[in-house]
Structure 1
Amino acid sequence: MEWSVNSDDSRDGRVETEVLDMLQPHKDLKELHIKGYLGAGFPTWIGDPLFSNMTDLSLDNCGNCASLPPLGQLPSLKKLYIKGMSVLKHVGREFYGQGGAKPFQLLETLSFKDMLEWEYWYTFEDDKEVEPFTHVRELSIENCPKLVGMLPSYLPCLNNLKIKKCSQLLVEVSKVVHPSLTSIAMNDVPLTSLQAVLEMRSMVDDELISANAKSKHPSSITSLSIGMIKKLELLPKWVTHRLMELEALEITSCEELKTLWKKEERVQHSLSLPAFRHLKIKGCPQLVSLFEEDEDEDNKGQHEQQQQQQQQEGLPCIVRRLEHLTIDNCEKLEKLPRLLHSFTFLGELYVYKCPSLSSFPETGFLCTLKTLRIDDCEALQSLFGCLTQINDSNLQVLAVRDCPSLTCLISCRGGGLPPTLKQLQITRCKKLEALLVVDEGMEITCPSLEIVLIMDCDRLKYLPDALPNNNNNLRNLSGLYLKGCKNLEYIPEGWFHSATNLAHLDIRECKKLKALPHGLQSIKYLTSLQSLYMNISQWNNNFKKIGLRSLSSLRILSISGAISVAEDEEEEGVAGSSFPIDGKLLPTSLIDFHIGGFRNLEKLSSKLFQNLASLEYLEIWGCPRLKSLPVQRLPPSLKRLGIGGSRKLTRKCEKGKGKYWPHLAHIPDVDVC
């Protein structure tokens, strides 16, 4: 049941109460959802135990109700959601109903959200004979800023606890941690036990904590999320020493967090720490390191065996089984752990918005790492200083975006991209000059590579060589996208010779790329090409050599000239004043054709649409001198025609008035401007 939202004051709460009372459903109803109701109270049938089959109930934005109905009387209720009751201040005994020692006897999910005036929740702390919520598995309280007091202390079946934006609600961790609890998420909550640990951590005896851990804090919790916790400088010991089954940890917006744990703690308790699998740290501006490291842990003069032993001893077991690591928006983080290569289970690494991070460890790729994404790291100059075991790498996805100081991906001699790489994405790295070190090692061998996207890298001049027929190099390349690389001058021949599976090719806004590779001119290599986007304002002679008609799989073709006059003052157009060039025809498989940005183009030849029986979409834009269109040759399959930036042609195509309109009226969608 949902009431519409009116902006005026025409709604009468008394009338709405009467209407809702008359809408009493059948007693066999299983689900009830009420939204936007503005009566001052609920009718008596809501909460009536005669609704013995009701399992799911939600009250959403019932803004005038100051109390809740006796929902604890519903014998089969399993899910209860209460949201946006803006005037409710107290949840008292009436919520549980009359009689019975176990209200909400089957309730499994309980959620309160956006209760801005809610101050008090009665939970029978003074009456131990009444035990509500004995079957609740999920408890969520969000955005209840005035709620004071404490949570119900007896939640024996609780699995998931989520509390967010409840700045006055007291959460005593020792009371809510039951053997069944597996997931905790707390944000902007005053944690009394956490606060005590923080203030007294230097006074607490570690052995006493370990001895009492099993009896007081069961180790069933596998997921913990905390945020906006004041005075949190490192992980409290009830996390590192008591939550032994913890697999996923998320820390957000803890402004004083500097590191997760200190060196002496991880050494002393290396055998009694949990082993995280997922770790996410976000919005912690004082974080300088994940954990403390010895300054001389990686001294090159040490004996190899001794060094390996020290690395193993120095690496806390809490991260040895880490599979997923995300670090986001940590302003002071300057480096990642030197022992990062020893995280032998790490498969995904994400680093975002860390402006002080200047480089990655020089120890190379992690052999297990499959996905690496870097975004908005202003000081980062290179990703990898040395890749001595590149052939052992399993990296599949490498994505780098908005790193303005990055000059190359790999800065060591003889380095290369991993042969397992499937996706390479580099976007808005303004100083990037080369993918690999400039003086040598400029060849790539990537038989698994599927997607290459390089966009808005102003200083990039060329791509590394890709030797054709070298272990089926680039045999799986399906998409090559080069956009906005203003200084790109050269694409090596090998990128097209072996790319027999290339389906999508997009080369645009690369002003200095004046010649097409021979492999592209001999278009026979690209038998699988389905879409082709090219900005060819300076390629007149080369474009003539492209045999487009031989592209039997091509579905989409977009050809554009100069983006603006200022960008290319001497642009001559594809063929001066006419298209196609020298009678070159388009492939008969074409469905979508775009042409634009040619200021000198005056005419589209009637041969252009010859045999295009499948063409459905045609767009012409930015050709101010274009004055004719072979409308009688347009294929009947055309579904959409778009024309813009060609004033003379636009007048001829004007709906109902233009000279060409009788020939265009049958097209379902004609957009002329």
Structure 2
Amino acid sequence: MDKKYLEALNLAWKDDTNDSKHDREVLENLLPHTNLKRLSIYGYGGTAFPNWLGDHSFCNMLSIRLVDCKYCNSLPRLGQLPSLTTLHIEQLSGVVSVGAEFYGSSERKAFASLKFLSFHKMSNWEKWSSFEVEDGEVFPNLQKLEIRGCHKLMNVDWPRNLPSLTELNIYESEVLLSSLPRTPAIRKLNLGKCEKLQLQELPQTVEWISIGGCHGVESFIDILRESPSRCHLQYLGIHDCSSPITFPTACLPTTLTELKIKNCEELEFPMHHSLKTSSIQKVSIINSCGGSGSLKFVPLDFFPNLKKLLKITSCKYLESLKLPDGQLCQNLTTLIIGGPNFISFPKGGLHAPNLIQLRVQYCKKLKMLPEQMHNFLPSLEALWISNCPEVESFPEGGLPSNLVELLVLNCSKLIAGRMKWNLQKLQALRWFVIKDDDEREGESAGVESFPEEGLLPSTVEHLNIMGIGSLKRLDIKGLQQLTSLTALFIQCCPQLHKLPEEGLPTSLPHLYIEECPLLKERCQKEKGQDWAKISHIPIIHIDRERI
């Protein structure tokens, strides 16, 4: 308490307590000076916090973090700290109810300056009661409220009014809200899974909303159908809805720029409604739109103003993307596509002159990538293809010349024909990643040596060889051709037992080896058999430890 210049204090208990009373006495007697501004307490083993924590004499306190104080069964009287702006409470598993003790005196404003409040992983928290003060103001300046991983929280009694709240986030929780607080300034609502929420109207200030649970989604969609023009949404997310429901494509707000649908397998997505006036630029549909298979064939011109992203993955009914003959997918920059039954891109090729990134993933039946990629995708810089076991080769004509990143992961037939990839002409290629997981029976290309001479262009700067269970040796001739190489990553290659006799390129500045037990043994600093081959490399990490 004599350290009057101390502004920040972190107190951490490392191990589980054997004496709760002793922990309480220690914290009680570590009374800091009232000039303290920031306080963090981790792993405290007492059953209650000391009286000084929350005393209004700490008028300079700005920030408090209480983490993993699992034996405390109540929160301290923090509402009386006049300058407190940030409060984070996490893993206080002994707390079942939050009420009057949290706010403090009814004669003063509670949490008068608080702007950010978060509760994380409160595993036994069931009830949050409101508290009335004489002037009626609780959290008058609260701007952001966050509740994450509080699975037992069923009863939330909001303060009558949260006049400054702009963002409410409920993550990884099934908080059973029946209503929302009065929030005249709200901009962002992330409501988690809401099975009891009764939405009568949506505040006109809301620009961003994510809502889950069948009842909450249905309630929200009813509002959209009744008065879409009153909404000013820019982002809409719908998730975890198991009931059959029709998505209101005909009455989306014209202000909407981003749409995300996740884990809504019975959601119908009518494709016959025109969205020519839609301003949607980003669309993500994940594990959704099953039922009658309304997204079996997706016309790319359905979202005419799509620019930043189209992502459709894990949708079991998706079979193909369609694009009318001669029409361009003019503005799209990122396309991520995948699904167990996806079999084809638009016939004749994907005409997307501004596409920068293409990811094709988990397409078990797909046999061909888009035709004429070198002509129709002139702006493509990143191509990721993963878990597409039936793809045997790249399209005729090869890959676009501006390609910077190429990742080929668990595509056994494609990898088996790697010497036909003709990558030498890709003089912009900087980043190359390959993975061939031979733990999956019958789906390995059996790569024993890599990278073969002539496979990669000399421009490659980052080379990542990962998960190749059959790899036994590195090809020194292939490595020596990579004169621009700045980082070599070797990960999860259990049969790779030594480095080439010639060592690694002398110009290599970074080497990363991870989960390669035989190689790790030989590369031990100063005593490993291969240490002399790598000792010239300035930066070496083995199993994430810099040596």
Under a length normalisation based on structure 1, what TM-score does the superposition of the two structures give? 0.59
Deviation at 1:519, TM superposition (A): 9.2
* Paired AA for residue 529 in structure 1: L
* CA–CA separation in structure 2 for the residues paired with 1:31 and 1:651: 46
Residues 162 and 102 of structure 1, relative CA distance in 2, 3 Å threshold: farther
- Give, in angstroms, the shift of residue 124 of structure 1: 4.2
Query: Root-mean-square deviation (CA), in Å?
Result: 5.8
Residue 314 of structure 2 corresponds to 402
Aligned-partner SS, 1:250: strand
1:478 is matched with 381
What is aligned with 2:428? 528
1:123 aligns with 2:131: yes
**Are 2:274 and 1:324 aligned?**
no
| 1:22 equivalent in structure 2 | 29
Change (3 A) 1:271 1:66: closer
Answering whether residue 110 of structure 2 is matched by residue 104 of structure 1, we say: yes
Q: Could you say which residue in structure 1 is the equivalent of 2:413?
A: 511
Gap runs ≥5 in structure 1:
184-220, 294-314, 361-379, 536-559
CA distance in 1, matches of 2:471, 2:152: 65
Offset at residue 289 of structure 1 (A): 0.9
In structure 2, give the amino acid aligned to 1:133. Answer: V
Whether contact under 8 Å (1:448, 1:477) holds in the other structure is yes
> How high is the sequence identity, in percent, across the aligned residues?
22
Contact 1:3 1:36 in 2 (8 A): yes
Gap change, CA 1:256 and 1:138, over 3 Å in 2: closer
Letter in 2 for 1:26: H
Aligned counterpart for 1:181 among listed residues 174, 179, 184: 184
Q: Secondary structure at the match of 1:325?
A: strand
Amino acid at match of 1:434: S
Structure 2 regions of 5+ residues with no counterpart? 1-9, 543-547
Give deviations 1:548-579, integer Å, cap 9, x for gaps.
Answer: xxxxxxxxxxxx9999996799x99999xxx7
Q: How far apart, CA to CA, are the structure 1 residues paired with 2:77 and 2:492?
A: 66
CA contact (8 A) 1:491 1:517 kept: no
Q: Are residues 351 and 415 of structure 1, via their aligned partners in 2, closer, same or farther at CA, if it must alter by over 3 Å?
A: farther
- Matches for 1:172-321 after TM superposition, within 5 Å: 176-177=181-182, 181-183=184-186, 223=189, 225=191, 227-230=193-196, 236=199, 238-239=200-201, 243-255=203-215, 258=218, 260=220, 266=225, 273-291=230-248, 315-316=250-251, 319-321=253-255
Native 8 Å contact 2:74 2:94 kept in 1 = no
595-604 or 337-346, larger mean C-alpha shift: 595-604
Letter in 2 for 1:24: L
Equivalent residue, structure 1, for 2:3: none
Tell me which amino acid in the other structure corresponds to 1:4. Answer: W
**1:507 Cα deviation from its structure 2 partner:** 5.7
The two structures have a TM-score, normalised by structure 2, of 0.70
- Against the structure 1 CA distance between its residues 562 and 407, is the aligned structure 2 distance closer, same or farther, given a 3 Å change threshold? same
- In 1, distance between residues paired with 2:491 and 2:146? 55
Query: d(CA) in 1 for partners of 2:305 and 2:126?
Result: 55
Corresponding residue for residue 4 of structure 2:
none
Does residue 449 of the first structure (1) align with residue 355 of the second (2)?
yes
1:271 and 1:261, CA in 2 relative to 1: closer, same or farther beyond 3 A?
A: closer
- The aligned amino acid for 2:255 is R
Q: Name the CA shift for 1:82/1:413 in 2 (closer, same or farther; >3 Å).
A: closer
Tell me the matched-pair count: 524
Letter in 2 for 1:418: C
Higher relative contact order (CA 8 A, sep 6+): 2
How far the C-alpha of 1:443 sits from its partner, in A, is: 4.0
Q: In structure 2, give the amino acid aligned to 1:454.
A: V
Q: Sort the Cα spacing of 1:89 and 1:599 in 2 relative to 1 into closer, same or farther, 3 A.
A: closer
- 1:235-284 alpha-carbon deviations (Å, 9 max, x no partner): 75x216xx444443432123586575569x95xx6597434333222122
- For residues 608-647 of structure 1, the aligned pairs below 5 Å read 609=480, 617=488, 630-631=501-502, 635-637=505-507
Q: Match of 1:281, SS? A: strand
Task: Map 1:401-480 onto structure 2 (within 5 A).
Answer: 401-410=313-322, 414=325, 418-427=329-338, 429-437=339-347, 442-466=348-372, 473-480=376-383
Residues 46-125 of structure 1 aligned to structure 2 (within 5 Å): 46-62=53-69, 71=78, 73-81=80-88, 84=92, 86=94, 91-92=99-100, 96-97=104-105, 101-104=107-110, 106-109=112-115, 111=117, 113=119, 114=122, 116=124, 123-124=131-132
Q: What is the one-letter code of the residue matched to 1:479?
A: A
* Alpha-carbon spacing, 1:117–1:605, altered in 2? closer, same or farther (3 Å): closer
Counterpart contact for 2:350–2:370, Cα < 8 Å: yes
- 1:281 is matched by which residue type in structure 2? I
Partner SS for 1:319: coil
Structure with larger Rg: 1
Instruction: Supply the distance in 2 between the matched residues of 1:601 and 1:23 (Cα, whole angstroms).
Output: 59
Distance 2:153 2:344 in 1: 56
Equivalence for 2:39: 32
